[in-house]
Amino acid sequence: MLFSILSNFTEILVAMKKEDMHPESVMMSYGYKPELSEGAVKPPIFNTSTFAFKTAEEGKAQFEIAYGLRDKNDNEELGLIYSRINNPNLEILENRLALWDKADDCAVFESGMSAISTVMLEYLKPGDLLLYSSPTYGGTDHFIHHFLPTIGVHCITFDHHHTQQEIIDKIEASGHQNRLKLIYLETPANPTNDLVDIEMCSKIAKQFSHSEQKVVVAVDNTYMGPLWSHPLQNGADLVLYSATKYIGGHSDLIAGAVSGKAEEMQRVKVLRTFLGNMASPNTCWLMLRSLETLKIRMDQQTKNAQQVAGYLKQHPKVENVFYLGLLTENSAAYPVYKKQYSAPGAMISFTVKGGEPEAFAFLNKLRLIKLAVSLGSTESLAQHPASMTHIGVDPIDKKRYGITDNLIRVSIGVENAEDLIYDIQQALSE
């Protein structure tokens, strides 16, 4: 009996290729061969700018592929050339990150903003049209409002209030519908947790695509990925990350990532080569370390957040709590939530009774939770969107999106939930 269980087990293991396993099971090993590095169990940091070719012919072949002059032959791999193009730490990290979203490929950047701006620059040329969801991250908002118009890109927006038909009407009314190139989404929206339907937007992209133009859908998945949401499965072409957040997860690095289908990733990687904004071997190494605990960190963070949100909801000094775990089944957002997310995440926004003075009093009294921007890290962080991350948002838009003076945003970490609740309790008391 015991023997048969054991032999079954080994058969299962043999039948399961590494690619078929859950990402968390292979984050310690995937894409790295110890025998190429003196048997070291962990990848060394490859602090080298350049790599020696075996022959001149090999060097020529590598450059042809790297510059996109020809496709790879069967079984041909892009070898190591120069660390702006590729580096072992960068490649191992990209291969591992791609697994979470079941993407063909991934590109890692030196910041979330460089991932976002590189995608926008690749897909938007003078005269093109960008459709984007609002609100977006402050840096993204700035790039769209203050940089893209200077190179002649037209930008129009929608938010969770708009229906599919209303969005289509907006595209047609812009006068640039034949130049629509990119639909850029951020969902859940920061800081309000409003949801955008990715599948609906990918239908709109298909409707405006024709033989000469493919409308690409890109989703900033920083808030929910790469664990609780997989936009590629809802029809997106590219998924973007500030890897500074959950992926890095320890508030000790800045990085970004883009994952997606092979043909789109080829374009993104070629532009990255020439903008030169890839992450360094050191940063990649730190992220490889972070990925080993990504799932247990995020699991604990969302468990804690559910308890904290429940506490906030019943507190007499709290007016409203915006948390995906508190959505009611009859709300308009609920079907989108069920379709796109496997957990409610660890980002909570809530309003305290009163205004800025009451919000500031709460923030100043926190002891365990740090008063800082950023999110997705092991430690819990709290901030005041109206005067901090979203200070640059137009006052009318602020009102429309509910970024009020009494709104507080909290990112929940891996601490003990009881201690977090105790800290919030004492900070809300007189």
Catalog residues that contact ligand PLP under the rule CB under 6 A: 111-113, 137, 139-140, 186, 190, 220, 222-223, 242, 244-245, 254, 256, 375
| CB 13, min distance to ligand PLP, A | 38
Cβ proximity to ligand PLP, 122 vs 186, nearer residue: 186
- Nearest to ligand PLP of 375, 410 (CB atom): 375
In the bound state with ligand PLP, the residue whose beta carbon lies nearer, of 80 and 240, is 240
Q: Which amino acid is at 41?
A: V
Q: How far is the CB of 73 from ligand PLP (least distance, A)?
A: 37
CA-to-CA dists, residue 160 to 198, 224, 321, 333, angstroms: 11, 17, 18, 9
390 backbone dihedrals φ, ψ, rounded to 5°: -115, 25
At closest approach, how far in Å is the CB of 226 from ligand PLP?
Answer: 13
User: Rounded CA gap, 44 and 282, in Å?
Assistant: 10
Tell me whether residue 179 or residue 245 sits nearer to ligand PLP (CB atom). Answer: 245
Residue closer to ligand PLP (CB basis): 43 or 112? 112
Q: Which is nearer to ligand PLP, 239 or 288 (CB)?
A: 239
Smallest distance from the beta carbon of 115 to ligand PLP, in angstroms? 8
Write down the least CB distance from residue 98 to ligand PLP, Å: 19
Q: Which residue is nearest to ligand PLP (CB)?
A: 112
Element (DSSP H or E) covering residue 155: strand 154-158
| Residue 32 or 246 with smaller CB distance to ligand PLP | 246
Encoded tokens for 35: 């025998």
Q: Which amino acid is at 238?
A: L
What are the residue ranges of helices labelled H in 22-180? 23-26, 56-66, 88-100, 112-123, 138-142, 164-173
CB nearer to ligand PLP: pick between 65 and 113: 113
Rounded to a whole number of angstroms, the minimum distance from the CB of residue 280 to ligand PLP is 14
Query: In the complex, what is the shortest distance from the CB of residue 178 to ligand PLP, in angstroms, rounded to a whole number?
Result: 29
Q: Which is nearer to ligand PLP, 254 or 326 (CB)?
A: 254
CB 192 within 8 A of CB 186: no
Task: Please state, as a whole number, how many other Cβ atoms lie within 10 Å of the Cβ of residue 199.
Answer: 15
Shortest distance in whole angstroms from residue 288 CB to ligand PLP: 17
Please identify, using beta-carbon distances, which residue of 271 and 373 lies nearer to ligand PLP. Answer: 373
DSSP state of 76: -
Residue 225 CB, shortest distance to ligand PLP, in Å, is 10
98 three-state secondary structure: helix
Least distance (Å) from ligand PLP to the CB of residue 365?
25
For 359-428, give the DSSP string: HHHHHHH-SSSEE-S--SSSS-EEE-TTTTTTTTS-HHHHHHHT--TTEEEEE--SS-HHHHHHHHHHHH
Is residue 428 within 8 A of residue 352, CB to CB? The reply is yes
- Three-class DSSP category at 149: helix
Angle (deg, nearest 10), helices 281-292 and 88-100: 40
Q: How far apart are CA 259 and CA 262, in angstroms?
A: 9
Nearer to ligand PLP among residue 62 and residue 277 (C-beta): 277
Are the C-beta atoms of 356 and 387 separated by less than 8 Å?
yes
Partners of 137 in the β-ladder: none
**Positive/negative CA dihedral, 330, 331, 336, 342:** negative
Min dist CB 92 to ligand PLP, Å, is 20
Contact 222, 112 (CB under 8 A): yes
